[in-house]
Structure 1
């Protein structure tokens, strides 16, 4: 599985959109710097996507997320590919028994397919939207994340890159 965190907030992300001529779409602009964080892990081969929403990104929440993923996949041994965030290498990080962490090289987000899941979520659920409060952002995440996770074929098409599919991970 590949793991990453992303933040979603009240600041608008301007995207192109269609409108009938001669209308010009207007998008409000939000400058509020309030965010929620989403921990995500994707299994490219199975098209599975696990996630957790939090108000803060830290070692405690990372441990909680790893425990959540471990519990959801308790019959599997999970090699979790993570980046070099400080919460991923903290001494008090709790890694479940059925999981090992594998760190990506520094400054290599292009190797993590979870980044594409975040792009898809932003494109489909957050374009041209200004949220009045952080609770509205949470509701949008709580609607959009399960919708994305339910579409395993889409998750596979976003994340099952040839070099990932070609890896044979049979533990004996």
Structure 2
């Protein structure tokens, strides 16, 4: 990291990660009164989208984008968005060792510095817990008509 960093704004420490979400359903046991038997649709459609997120652990500010791919271009788009959301701050963003994070096409903005985690250390990134929590609490026993964010998302979970 540079020892000289122009600017007067406060420094914001953020941790960044991305996760793949798709239309493969996660069917689990659920409770319902006797004699009702719950019905849960299963879906095995290989269609995915990717959620990018960066969280500031000091104040809980979360910046996120849903993008179609994980690559240098999408990572650049996410970094540019985070920097635009915090224009008066100097951002230190901790990233993991994914290949697209080291892409030659990545050009951090003037108010951003990237800091890499050591290899094989996902437990040091608090955003990993966000993905675990989302998958555990929000996506089981559900099937979606489409992965497109503009399409009408009908919940197929049986409410008993």
Give the alignment's TM-score, normalised by structure 2: 0.79
* 2:157 alignment counterpart: none
> Please, which runs of 5 or more residues in structure 1 have no aligned partner?
141-172
Which residue of the other structure, out of 112, 125, 137, is the alignment partner of 1:112? 125
Deviation of 1:24 after TM superposition, in Å, equals: 3.1
* 1:31 alignment counterpart: 44
Q: May I ask how many residue pairs the two structures share in their alignment?
A: 140
CA-based RMSD: 1.9
Q: Which one has a larger percent strand, Structure 1 or Structure 2?
A: 2
* 2:56 alignment counterpart: 43
Deviation of 1:135 after TM superposition, in Å, equals: 2.0
Helix, strand or coil at the partner of 1:135: coil
Q: Note the 1:133-172 alignment, pairs <5 A.
A: 133-135=146-148
Deviation of 1:108 after TM superposition, in Å, equals: 1.4
* 2:6 alignment counterpart: none
Rg comparison, structure with higher value:
2
Deviation of 1:124 after TM superposition, in Å, equals: 3.5
Give the alignment's TM-score, normalised by structure 1: 0.74
* 2:4 alignment counterpart: none
Given that 1:13 and 1:126 are in contact with CA atoms closer than 8 Å, whether structure 2 keeps it comes out as yes
Deviation of 1:106 after TM superposition, in Å, equals: 1.4
